Amino acid sequence: MSITASIRIYRALLLAYPRPYRARFAAAMCETFGDALDAARTEGSLALSRLWLFAVLDSLRIGAAERFGPPAGRRHRQAVPQQGRSRWRAGDGIVRTALQDVRYALRGFRRAPGFTIVATLTLALGVGANTAIFSVVNGVVLRPLPYNQPSQLVTLWGGSSRSKDVMVTIREATSLAGVTGYSHVRLGLIGSGDAEEIAGARITPNHFSVLRVPPFLGRTFTEDEGVPDQDDVVILSHGFWQRRFGSDSSVVGTRIQLGARARTIVGVMPPRYRPIARGWQFWIPITIDPSDFSDYAGTAGTMLLARLQPSVTLEAARAEVRTIAARLAEKAPEVYTEEWINSSAPVPLRDTMVGEVEQALWILLGAVGFVLLIACANIANLLLVRGRARRKEFAIRTALGAARTRVTRQLFTESALLGLIGGSVGLGAGALSVQVLVGAFPSSLPRTDAIAVDGFVFAFALAVTVVASVVFGLVPALRSTQGDLQDSLKDAGRSVLGTRRHRFQHALVAAEVGLSVVLVVGAGLMVKSFWRLQQVDPGFNPANVLTMRLSPPPSRYTGEAQLRAYFRQVHQDLMAVPGVESVGAAAFLPMAGSSTATVYTVENRPLPEGTPRRYANAQFVTPGYLRTMAIPLLSGRWLDDTDREGSPIVGVVNETMAREAWGDEDPIGAKVQMFGHLDFTVIGVVGNLHQLGPDVDVRPEAYFAAMQLTWAPNLYLTIRTTEDPTNSIAALKDAAWNVDRDVPISRVRTMEDVVSRTVADSRFLALLLGAFGLLALVLGTVGVYGVMSYVVGQRTHEIGIRLALGGKAGQMLRASMVRGMIPVTAGVVLGLLGAIASTRLLSNLLFEVTTTDLTTFALVPLILALVAAAATYVPARRAANVDPMISLNAE
């Protein structure tokens, strides 16, 4: 935290003082505090915590005294301070005693800074972690989507309709007030500035009216702009309009070169509008030829979004959509399967957007909730120990006439105040760390722009703090004043009663250990799953490979010949860059989450009746791809420069496809058909490569020579270098731009980075749960140690007597250890049961690890038991080694 931020916080603390006081001294105090802060910083974190603790306590204490205390009278005050205080009258009796309690508590905290710092920080840690995670849950899961009547918005077919036919037919549904289709698109923008490729969407013209968002400038699309040849229009996002056009409102009506065509800017969306998918910067119309919207199966990717009629339930809409889907399926049963009909069901847009993340977030919230509970158990124990030590004090107070309820209330005030301080610090720390947390989340986290510390988060933190204060405060407050307090005046707190008296503390130990076991087991499973994921062989060697996407603008590269010439030139020039070992290119980057699945058939090998059709990914590559990615060639030959335009079409299949289609036979020479029209001869078999990510099973895949076929005009280059490829980025980009300056280069990444992103979600979850697990372990250990130190300390006298009577130190040690480990063992057993019940929630987040993974379930309790044993051993040994004389005289 910067000095200025710290002083701002201090200034806020000064609000506890009355206004005239602040007017007179606030500036000077901030200055002095700044100096003190400077000094404390050089002394380390302990001095800093101490400084902040006193800053908070003093502000509350002196602020209250200045507000409600007697006017600072000349002379009496310094001469006889107590007299001044006794004259103090503010408000009625209740307020007065409450204020007294507060002042007394604050004075007590000031006298025991060690206790106060530990308790405050422990609570702040718990509240802070909860606040931060809850902010994310609130923003991503709980907040309504930023659209008009968002609960009416649903997606159909899990978002993907497969055809324009469906898109048009589904509009007949009377339960839907509007249906809009949209798909992602990336287009190159050239002219006026650097050529760049930007992300946007194709939408049906009614898109914004279904979402009910009016434009910021200009207009949205009209229905006739959804017809071929009338669609040369574009709507810009506010951010893109600001960045690229400097917020110039006169751009509406002008034309820009976007992708293959020049388009007229007709509108700009408002700044607060959040697109369905993050990062969309423009919208262009989807065109449907009203005379022919025949099926184009295979080009999945048009998503369907609908708004329900206000009075229609989700169930009614589901039934109607299903009827329409079944009708479509009758027309073309080979395309529209039963599974497709089932997937038609409308799903709330919120669920589609938030998806699987929701579960992970709730799990994280549960985990920090556990951390908080453990923290509470620790504080409860601290308070209990403190309460025991103060029994004499309470006894004196009751002897002097204080009611027991008065003493209990005093104690409760203390814990409430402790909660308030710890909670405030935690809320502050949580609020500050939210942005860090959001930054650390993998990019798959949706709706990050909705994450903020708002009133709801604030209320949550407050509620958590209040509940926590009650949890850790109530029992110790009742306990400390229980029993015959007068007894404690006679005996100085020594105990020979054994464990009965420490039942509550042993319960605390069991609870802490139990919660820690659940959390650490969960963390262990996630870490193991992440480790498994890391162990997956991607099927290629990502080291020293750089990748970048080249998107030759279709407006300039109109023919395939031009594109081929361009890519051949780029290949040749890049090979000349120093340090480049090989250069390849592919239409779909491995592990980047895209591929095309197409039906394939093998000549003379018809599938038996009733078996489902077989799908394979089609990949378009250049000959250098195999060597660059280091994919093993298993048999036959790989694509080479002779496989070019005009030569017979050939393909290489992966191991999975070879096994699926030919079993143990040799596929070389076999004739295969894909895309319904592309016939090719198999010339080789290569090793499997995880195209979609390490956790997705390898699918059948066929490689084609990009130079032989028509393919999407964008290719990813893959470049293997002899050294760290990031050093060559500039030289490589320059070499490509030397061929054509107008070709946008995007997504420049190392292949290692691409691979690591595929496990980012898992890594993040493992990291966060691991951190919480570690925190639980540390807090739990501190708790066990604290309780054991106290319990054994109470028995020092008894142990002294036993030793004096001839007991062996070893025996004493063993007895203490056994006694200490009973609640630990109970905690471990309870924790294991809890873990078995709760790790089921993790099941679909785990990769190749079962929720009852034996190693994790065996190892975690063992580690925890060992750590707890160590925490028990230290105080037990100390007690067993005391000199009997010292322990007997220790009164």
Partner 1 sequence: MSGPGRVPVDEHLPLKPLIFHILLALAEEERHGYAIMREVRERSGGHIRLETGPLYRHLKRLLDDGLVEESDYRPAPDRDDQRRRYYRLTTMGRAVMAAEAERMAELVKQIRQLGDVQAGV
Torsion of CA 675, 679, 682, 688, to 10 degrees: -10
Instruction: Select 21 or 737, whichever has its Cβ closest to partner 1.
Output: 21
Residue closer to partner 1 (CB basis): 46 or 561: 46
401 phi and psi, to 5 degrees? 115, 0
CB 24 → partner 1: shortest distance, Å? 7
- Site for partner 1 (CB under 8 A): which residue of 6, 49, 59, 410? 59
Which amino acid is present at 357? V
Identify which range of 53-61, 566-574, 577-585, 699-707 contacts partner 1 by CB under 8 A. 53-61
CA 503 from chain center: how many Å?
39
* Residue 74 C-beta: closest distance to partner 1, Å: 6
Instruction: State the nearest-atom distance from the C-beta of 26 to partner 1, in Å.
Output: 9
Going by C-beta distance under 8 Å and a sequence separation of 6 or more, which residues neighbour residue 494? 794, 797, 891
Report if residue 54 touches partner 1, rule: CB under 8 A.
yes
Structure tokens belonging to residue 675: 């895309």
The verdict on 79 binding partner 1 (CB under 8 A) reads yes
Cβ pair 651, 682 in contact under 8 A: yes
Which of 48, 62, 462, 801 touches partner 1 (CB under 8 A)? 62
Q: Does 103 bind partner 1 (CB under 8 A)?
A: no
Binding to partner 1 (CB under 8 A) within 830-849 occurs at none
Residue 28 interacting with partner 1 (CB under 8 A) = yes
- Determine the distance from the C-alpha atom of residue 140 to the mean position of all C-alpha atoms in its chain, rounded to a whole number: 10
Q: Which of the ranges 71-79, 362-370, 494-502, 642-650 carries the binding residues for partner 1, by CB under 8 A?
A: 71-79
| CB 465, min distance to partner 1, A | 24
32 interacts with partner 1 by CB under 8 A: yes
CA 512 to chain centre: 26
C-beta closer to partner 1: residue 31 or 491: 31
* CB of 23 or CB of 778, closer to partner 1: 23
The single residue listed with the structure tokens 């079962």 is 850
What is the identity of the amino acid at 259?
G
Instruction: Give 3-state DSSP helix, strand, coil % of the chain, rounded to 5.
Output: 55, 15, 30
Distance between CA atoms of 778 and 785, rounded to whole angstroms? 10
- The conformational region for residue 383 under phi > 0 = left, psi -120 to 50 = alpha, else beta, is alpha
**51 touches partner 1 by CB under 8 A:** yes
Minimal distance, residue 280 CB to partner 1, in Å: 50
- Burial (CB < 10 A; 0-12, 13-18, 19+), residue 885, is exposed
Does position 106 interact with partner 1 (CB under 8 A)? The reply is: no
With CB under 8 A as the contact rule, which of the stretches 58-66, 177-185, 438-446, 876-884 interacts with partner 1?
Answer: 58-66
Which one of 49-57, 317-325, 340-348, 629-637 is the stretch in contact with partner 1 (CB under 8 A)? 49-57
CB of 448 to partner 1, least distance (A): 39
Tell me the window of 30-38, 163-171, 259-267, 566-574 that interacts with partner 1 (CB under 8 A).
30-38
> How buried is 242 (Cβ within 10 angstroms: 0-12 exposed, 13-18 middle, 19+ buried)?
middle
Asked if residue 884 lies in contact with residue 804, where contact means CB atoms within 8 angstroms, the answer is yes
- Residue 104: is it exposed, middle or buried by C-beta count within 10 angstroms (0-12/13-18/19+)? middle
873 touching partner 1, by CB under 8 A = no
Residue number, 77 or 564, with CB nearest to partner 1 = 77
Please enumerate in sequence order all residues whose Cβ is within 8 A of that of 655, keeping only pairs 6 or more positions apart, or say none.
Answer: 634, 685, 686, 687, 688, 698
Least distance from partner 1 to the Cβ atom of residue 73, Å = 9
What is the token pair recorded at 669?
């020479």
Query: Total residues contacting partner 1 (rule CB under 8 A)?
Result: 27
Interaction between residue 58 and partner 1 (CB under 8 A): yes
DSSP notation for 103-145: HHHHHHHHH-HHHHHHHHHHHHHHHHHHHHHHHHHIIIIISPP
What's the min distance (Å) between Cβ of 471 and partner 1?
A: 31
Stretch that binds partner 1, among 52-60, 230-238, 635-643, 801-809 (CB under 8 A): 52-60
Which letter, b or e, does each residue of 464-477 get, where b requires 16 or more Cβ atoms within 10 Å of its Cβ?
bbeebbebbbbbbb
Which one of residues 19, 43, 78, 741 is an interface residue with partner 1 (CB under 8 A)? Answer: 78
Q: Is the dihedral of CA 467, 471, 472, 478 positive or negative?
A: positive
123, amino acid identity? L
Determine the interface stretch with partner 1 among 17-25, 97-105, 397-405, 522-530 (rule: CB under 8 A): 17-25
Interacting residue with partner 1 among 8, 12, 35, 645 (CB under 8 A): 35
Residue listed under structure tokens 């659940």: 518
**Is residue 643 a contact partner of residue 705, using CB atoms and an 8 Å limit?**
yes
Q: Minimum distance between the CB of residue 123 and partner 1, rounded to whole angstroms?
A: 22
CB of 13 to partner 1, least distance (A): 9
Q: Are 618 and 712 in contact (CB under 8 A)?
A: no
Residues 628-687 that bind partner 1 (CB under 8 A): none
Contact 750, 725 (CB under 8 A): yes
33 lies in the binding site for partner 1 (CB under 8 A): yes
Is residue 75 at the binding interface for partner 1, with CB under 8 A as the rule?
A: yes
Q: Output 66 or 573, the one with its CB closest to partner 1.
A: 66
* Least distance to partner 1, CB of residue 480, Å: 29
Minimal distance, residue 75 CB to partner 1, in Å: 5
Sequential DSSP letters for 217-259: EE----GGGGSTTS--EEEE-HHHHHHHHTT-GGGTT-EEEET
Query: Counting contacts by CB under 8 A, is residue 27 touching partner 1?
Result: yes
The answer to whether 587 and 715 have CB atoms below 8 angstroms apart is: yes
Task: Closer to partner 1 by CB, 57 or 548: give it.
Answer: 57
Pick from 49, 61, 549, 745: which binds partner 1 (CB under 8 A)? 61
Tell me the closest approach of the beta carbon of residue 91 to partner 1, in angstroms: 22
Cβ of residue 117: shortest distance to partner 1, in angstroms? 14
Answer yes or no whether residue 24 interacts with partner 1 by CB under 8 A. Answer: yes
| Residue number, 59 or 281, with CB nearest to partner 1 | 59
Name the residue nearer to partner 1 (CB basis): 79 or 607. 79
Report residue 207 as tokens: 């898109």
The pair of three-digit structure tokens given for residue 123, joined into one six-digit string = 């609570």
Q: Which of 36, 466, 599, 760 binds partner 1 (CB under 8 A)?
A: 36
Of 803, 790, 819, the closest CA to residue 881 belongs to 803
Nearer to partner 1, 75 or 111 (CB): 75
Q: Contacting partner 1 (CB under 8 A), which of 7, 9, 11, 21?
A: 21
Q: What's CA 859's distance to the chain center, in Å?
A: 27
Query: Which CB sits closer to partner 1, 36 or 634?
Result: 36
Of 11, 66, 117, 329, the residue at the interface with partner 1 (CB under 8 A) is 66
Q: Tell me: does residue 83 bind partner 1 (CB under 8 A).
A: no
> Footprint of partner 1 on residues 412-441 (CB under 8 A)?
none
Q: How far is CA 747 from the centre of its chain?
A: 23
Any idea how long the chain is? 891
> Is 400 a residue that touches partner 1 (CB under 8 A)?
no
CA distances from 132 to 368, 432, 465, 652 (A): 10, 8, 14, 51
d(CA 386, CA 824): 23
* Span interacting with partner 1, options 70-78, 249-257, 266-274, 293-301, rule CB under 8 A: 70-78
Q: Provide the binding-site residues for partner 1, judged by CB under 8 A.
A: 21, 24-25, 27-29, 31-33, 35-36, 39, 51, 54-55, 58-59, 61-62, 66, 72, 74-75, 77-79, 81
